[in-house]
Chains A and B, each alone.
Chain A
Amino acid sequence: MSWLKQLFLRQRLYNDLDQEIALHLEERIEELVASGMSVKDASATARREFGNVGLVKETAREVWGWRWLEELLGDLRYGLRGLRKSPGFTAIAILTLALGIGANTAIFSVVDAVLLRPLPYHDPDRLMTIFESNAANDYFSRNAAAPGNFIEWRRRNHVFSQIGAASLPGFNIVGTVGPERVTGAAISAGTLAMLGLRPALGRDIEPEEDRDGANRVVLLGYALWQRQFGSDPNIVGKTIRLGTLPNTVIGVLPKGLTFPTENLDLWVPLEQTVSAKDMQWKNSHYLSVYARLKSGVTLMQARADLNGIAAALKQEYPDTNSGKGIYLVSVQEDLIGDVKPALLTLLVAVAFVLFIACANVANLLLVRATGREREMSIRLALGAGSFRLVRQMLTESVLLSLAGGAAGLLIDRWASETLLALRPPSLPLYNAIGIDSRVLVFAVGVSLFTGVLFGIVPALRAAGSDLNLASRGTSRGSTVARRMRLLRNIFVGGEIAISLVLLIGAGLLVRSFVRLRGNDVGFRANNIVTARVSIPEDKYPEDAQVLRFYDQLLERVRALPGAEEAGMTSFLPLTGSNFDNSFDIVGRPERPRSDKTYALVRFVDPSYFHVMQIPLMKGRNFEEHDRLGARRVMLISETMAKRYWSEGSPLGQHLTVYFGMDQSPWEVVGVVRDVRSKIASDPEPTMYFPYEQAAYRFMVVTVRTNRDPKTMIEAIRGATRTLDSNQPLSQVRTLDGLLEQTVMPWRFSMTLLVAFAVLALALAAAGIYGVISYTVEQRTNEIGIRMTLGAQPRSVLRMVVRQGMAVAAVGIGVGIGGALYLTRFLTSQLYSVQPTDPLTFAGIAALLAAVALFANYLPARRATRVDPVVALRYE
């Protein structure tokens, strides 16, 4: 008989056995009766001769080897019955565990998707990103590569089997729905294949198409294909216009493709967007370079090879490459390096929450175990092994934790959505987040672990019950009870310590966030809507055309109802320190090439400073007559003025700025207040130029409005369309929204850590409350006696509270020690707050003490209401 068949036949085998034994006894009794015995004696004799019927049956059944299974089933049945009998306990325990396990599962699903699972590329471990680095200052800096350097790396390296570059140009397109500004990727031929990506429709870019002057081809993104081309299955071979240039569609890429970043709409050959001449440039840095390591080559070997190339390039091209190094890092590290600390912090934080939940449930179990001491003693006395009892108790706690885990998955669904809504742009989603088999396995694993974790101590305690208790009938005053109380206090003290650590961590992040938000960004963000209007060169080749377009646009936007003021800039504050340039001050010694000074470059119109309410500190603003061909004038920021003119005034000084064809000097006519280009960095030196003197083609329109921003945006869209029906807007947003987005990474960790800390605090408070309530209940009798003997309610109250607060004080002390050690790991996520910030530590400790006092006071007050007469009769 196979094992499985036996299992199914089990019931029949057992029935046979039972019948057989019954018949055996029957036959013996009949025989004895026939020999003249009374029926009563005969049945006693038969049983005596037979032995213990129950034991015989059990031993006979054991032969078949299902004992473990049957005991498990028995334990499960017993456990379920026990849990059903105390629904209040069960509900609280399951809820507590669901919160703990749900939070853990949710964070795990993010950590798994972002950190643990490999990127969805072929053999992702060998995929590398190559940066230029500034060897002089910061060896590990990661700068975009110049095309000329990319070409050299591709030609000279010995360590990569494949190498490709990408940039992210924008395109104006017109599909079936209307004009749209989309971001695309310009990539070297073979880059997609290097990643193991293939078009869902059509074919990849061929090497001969990745040339200046080759046939223009384009790969569409899945979303764009759906949105603008109605998922046309015959799109391959058709022609679409990028700007005015016709491109042949050669394929459609798969849905959800996120290379090189998210939210891209089309892919074109790199060297069709960069001219052959520009591909040789080593001065202009805008390429991301990806490479695959040859098999057998290590990261260190590859770095050594690249360092050699960098050294050679320095020798050959000192003008452009002195002081430049090459930095190689895995794609994985490059993409997630920034969010790793935040995610790991959250992972530790949820684990802490789970420990607290465990301690709470363990305490509930201890209380329950005290109530069940007699039951346990009786079972021990009847011969149940203590191992068997421990297993029984553990079965019960694992049942609880599995139920908690199941409920936790419900919480997880909701929590995952919340997490995704809070997700900062720096948290890339290359893998989907959700409940999949890995997350399920994790949830079950955590549940089992949790069940054993919180169950083991109460189970061991229960199994170690004193046999005498059964006969004594009460545990009052016994050493066992005292040991139980100590255990409960340890659990509660631990909870307080852990929640203190979490609260301090959260407090530090909150303070960082407040500091961050309190930063003077240098402009007033409310009621400003912005949109970038990128004017294509093929359609408007002349600078004069560009200026006319922007002039007309501003005029129309200003006339819109609700538009108070309108201006333009090339780059908004807070969008990063992109576009800087070196300069020299006329009259001071020119700096050598390797030691240039840099400042941010911004092209603006005169109204921009009014719209943004950036005050003029010195000199004058731009004026209408500062146009192309007029005297070249510029404004500088306060920081720039202070840094380079610590004595004397910058006004009237002339600067040579190395951009554009005409490099004749600019005159400083005014100084404006600083604005931040990054929220967490000090303002950088900034140079402003009249856009009319540079004819910059990618201006951002900024409008201060007294209407609903949404209607304003539509109005701007409409005004643009009246000028050119194919002219799209991009980066349409409110400045408030931009500000929000800038602080999102901080908000993400802060919100989650605060949520976990509050959860921890609530659980710990519930834990204190529960333990003190129980203690009061247990000591009702004693309190009654004290009060009969004349103790005042106040002193009783003080006695009970003092006991609870002693535990809380120890917990807080341990917690502060733990936090002093642990918060250093938060340093990279803090902003102008020390990890040992005394104010946070003191404040949080006080908060926790207050909560502990309250959680103590509520049940303690009940003690003072004890009626001595009732209390003495208690039990």
Chain B
Amino acid sequence: MKTPEQRDLFPGALEMMILRTLKRQRLHGYALAQHIKRTSNDLLQIEEGSLYPALQRLLKAQLVKAEWGISSTNRRVRIYKLTAAGAKHLERQVSGFRRMLKGVTRVLALGES
């Protein structure tokens, strides 16, 4: 059984993707899950359910806000949007992630050459 803590992603990755997605548009949970799945080309094997604990963490840290509304398909949904703090947090996370990625890539490239 796979628990959210044992997922393939590194800690914080899912939150970062959620924030990034919400930066572009407000979405409800289902749409958010589908969007991440689609845009990652199903490369990341995320259980849809694991989205929700992540969303609760973001809510608690006040990086996102949620309110009940009506979706484009006329359903009652809970729509998430990024807060100002969320946007700032995302920027920091992304640049940190880029730096890390650069370093890791270099090390890996060395090994190959």
Contact = CB atoms under 8 A, between A and B. Distances in A.
Given A27-B75, A59-B4, A60-B52, A49 B47 contact: yes
Nearest to B71: A27
B30 A23 contact: yes
Contact of B49 (A16, A23, A50): A50
Contacts of B56: 17, 60-61, 63-64
Contact of A63 (B53, B66, B77): B53
Interface string B12-27: 0000000000000000
Given A24-B33, A27-B30, A56 B53 contact: yes
B76 interface: yes
A17 B2 CA distance: 21
Contacts of A55: 3, 49
23 contacts: A20-B29, A20-B78, A23-B76, A24-B33, A24-B48, A28-B30, A28-B48, A49-B47, A51-B48, A51-B49, A51-B50, A52-B49, A53-B49, A56-B4, A56-B50, A56-B52, A56-B53, A59-B4, A59-B53, A60-B56, A61-B56, A62-B53, A63-B56
Given A20-B78, A51-B50, A59-B3, 13 more contacts: A16-B66, A21-B29, A24-B29, A24-B33, A28-B30, A55-B3, A56-B4, A56-B47, A56-B49, A59-B53, A60-B53, A61-B56, A63-B57
A21 B75 contact: no
B1 interface: yes
A21 B60 contact: no
Contacts of B48: 24, 28, 49-51
Interface string A1-23: 10000000000000011011101
Interface of A is mostly: helix
Nearest to A21: B52
Interface in B23-76: 28-30, 33, 47-50, 52-53, 55-57, 60, 62, 66, 68, 75-76
A209 B77 CA distance: 91
Range class of the A interface residue count: 20 to 34
Contact of B60 (A49, A57, A64): A64
Contact of A50 (B28, B47, B75): B47
Given A20-B52, A27-B30, A28-B30, A52 B75 contact: no
Interface residues of B, number: 25
A56 B77 CA distance: 19
A403 to B, nearest CB: 37
Contacts of A52: 1, 49
A28 B75 CA distance: 12
Nearest to B31: A27
Contact of A23 (B33, B55, B60, B75): B75
A89 B47 CA distance: 47
A1 B59 CA distance: 10
A55 B6 CA distance: 13
Interface in A376-432: none
Nearest to B52: A60
Closest 7 CB pairs of A and B: A51-B49, A51-B47, A56-B49, A63-B56, A60-B53, A59-B53, A50-B49
Chain A CB within 10 A, most for which of B29, B52, B57, B78: B52
A116 B56 CA distance: 52
B60 A63 contact: yes
Contacts of B75: 23, 27
A55 B68 CA distance: 24
Contacts of A50: 47-49
Contacts of B47: 49-51, 56
A16 B30 contact: no
Contacts of B60: 63-64
Contacts of A17: 52, 56
Contacts of A62: 53
A16 B69 CA distance: 12
